[in-house]
Amino acid sequence: MERPERSGTVGAEHAPARAREARKAGITAFVGTTIEWFDFYIYGSASALVLGKIFFPEASPALGTLAAFATFWVGFLARPLGGVVFGHFGDRFGRKKALIITLVLMGGATFCVGLLPGYAQIGAAAPVLLIALRMVQGVAMGGEWGGAVLIATEYAPPGKKILYGAFAQQGSPVGNLLATLAFLGIAYLSDSAFESWGWRLPFLASAVLVFIGLFIRLQLSETPEMRAIIESKQRSKLPIKDVLGRFPILVALGVGAGTAGVAITYVKTTFALSWATKELDFSRSSFLMVITIALVVQVFTQPLGAVLATRVNLKRAVLWMLLPEIVLLPAMFALINTGSMGLSILGMALATAPHAMYYAALAGLLAQVFPVEVRYTAISLCYQLCTTLFAGTAPIACQFLLTRTGSIASVVALGLGYVVLTLVCAIALIRRSNVLASQGSPAAVAGTRTPA
């Protein structure tokens, strides 16, 4: 086996073969994350529509929704643990092995949720088991994201890490779209059929997707950069210790930089679905259609963010992508509040583009900040802490604010806070990375081997 170049340069004679490997890695990352995100997102739709009634029937509708959203957050609470565990495994033994395990874990937990009896059948054991399965989902998702990003970016040609990182990011909107379509397909069932067996179908059907994902992942080799680390015996003995000891500020900034990219999605979909169907006059099927159209818009607009971040100054690209959200997010809620299907679609579609484009560039940005030997752990820690602190709590915080104030304006203010935090941290992360590069930092050197 040829020893990969440590610097990331590619010999001309091997360029076509490595270009094919890079494309294969990108497609593998995309398909795998699509399946994992489908499993994760169907839980969000179910928690907004039905899990409160099935697993917390003795609570009022509002408290039942809050309880269901709390179980939704449990998955995010477990994600940093998954990031650390599988980050350690992936940094020590390779990205591919870690990703195979995470896919099996996610698929098994999701399938079991579809089989789980409700409160009426087994009492308090039902929500306890639901929480346990959601935690397994969270651990799997926590390990999945970082490995998928690195499968794509560590195969990327020089100058294209951000562009190839977008392959892994694209799995999120496509998985969300498939999850929403799955629930849209059963939304026309009667309430009794939907609540007794209909909601279980997407969870059970996920088993087919998992087998497809496993087949694809087993065909891929370990990444060139990770093979070089293994062969040179430069692996970190304890990656989490090295990350926190050497790069604590970069980790903190990375956590903040991910906020808008992950949290606003759950404000717009999971919370808005609950709000529109419970507080406004939207039916399940009509508002799921609104979300579906917005997700189609996201699928097509999100990659443009990676292209923009590759072609212009990165700081300027971040500003161009996120500043419009400050206007479009309030407009979205105002348009939904009219009760008009057409205006709701317009508002949701327009508010989707800014944070979606930024999300496309986020993976490549984080992957360039940390050195190879601790990269899986570092980017997983940044991203998963962000999802725990901000994304997983977003539906709970939004529902709490709405219940407490009675005004959707408080939810809008929270969403704008996510945008501002992201802008500040992303720009600081970019600046600090540039400073480290000029000082020859190991973290920055890893990021500048293949600049994007």
* Cβ partners under 8 Å of residue 449, min gap 6: 7, 8
Per-residue pLDDT at 74: 79
Per-residue pLDDT at 434: 64
Q: In whole angstroms, what separates CA 151 from the centre of its chain?
A: 16
CA distance 25 to 156: 9
Q: Which pTM was predicted?
A: 0.81
CA distance 214 to 106: 12
Cα separations (Å) of 210 from 24, 35, 39, 86, 104? 18, 7, 9, 19, 7
CATH number of 20-448: 1.20.1250.20
Determine contact, residues 434/441, Cβ cutoff 8 Å: no
Query: Both tokens of residue 380?
Result: 């997983």
pLDDT in tens, the chain (452 residues): 333 434 444 444 466 667 778 888 888 889 888 988 888 888 878 887 788 888 877 777 777 777 777 777 777 788 899 999 999 988 988 888 898 999 899 889 999 999 999 888 888 888 889 888 988 988 998 898 888 898 888 888 877 888 888 888 898 889 888 988 888 888 888 888 888 898 999 999 888 888 888 888 888 788 788 888 878 777 888 899 999 999 999 999 999 999 999 899 889 888 898 899 888 989 888 998 999 899 899 999 999 999 998 888 889 999 999 999 999 999 999 999 999 999 999 999 999 999 999 999 998 889 888 888 899 999 999 999 998 899 888 988 998 999 899 899 999 999 999 999 999 999 999 988 764 554 444 444 443 333 33
